[in-house]
């Protein structure tokens, strides 16, 4: 994953941007401040701290067709 890329996840267009530390966005899934250097922004103005939170949101929205996500631990 690199900054300035766009990905499409669960029908959302997600921008991968740099977290410059000035705006300190909050992840809407875990509701924590995003401390990582990368921030995932959807076109609905939602910020995610990482892919796992993105996938969490996606799976809660559509539980019927839960995609297989590799998780460890």
List interacting residues with Zn ion (CB under 5 A): 27, 29-30, 49, 53
Please choose, from the candidates 23, 27, 21, the residue with its C-alpha nearest in 3D space to the C-alpha of residue 55.
Answer: 27
* Closest approach of Zn ion to the CB of residue 1, in Å: 15
* Closest approach of Zn ion to the CB of residue 27, in Å: 3
With the CA atoms of 24, 25, 31 and 32 taken in that order, what torsion angle do they form, in degrees rounded to the nearest 10?
-30
* Closest approach of Zn ion to the CB of residue 49, in Å: 4
Nearest-angstrom CA–CA distance, 64 and 35: 32
Residue number with CB closer to Zn ion (19 or 29): 29
Residue number with CB closer to Zn ion (39 or 53): 53
Please choose, from the candidates 17, 61, 63, the residue with its C-alpha nearest in 3D space to the C-alpha of residue 40.
Answer: 17
Residue number with CB closer to Zn ion (64 or 72): 72
């Amino acid at each position: 994953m690199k900054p300035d890329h766009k990905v499409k996840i669960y029908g959302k267009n997600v921008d991968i941007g740099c977290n410059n530390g000035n705006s300190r966005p909050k992840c809407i899934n875990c509701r924590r401040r995003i401390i990582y250097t990368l921030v995932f922004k959807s076109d609905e103005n939602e910020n995610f701290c990482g892919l796992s939170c993105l996938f969490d949101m996606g799976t809660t929205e559509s539980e019927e067709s839960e995609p297989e996500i590799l998780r460890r631990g």
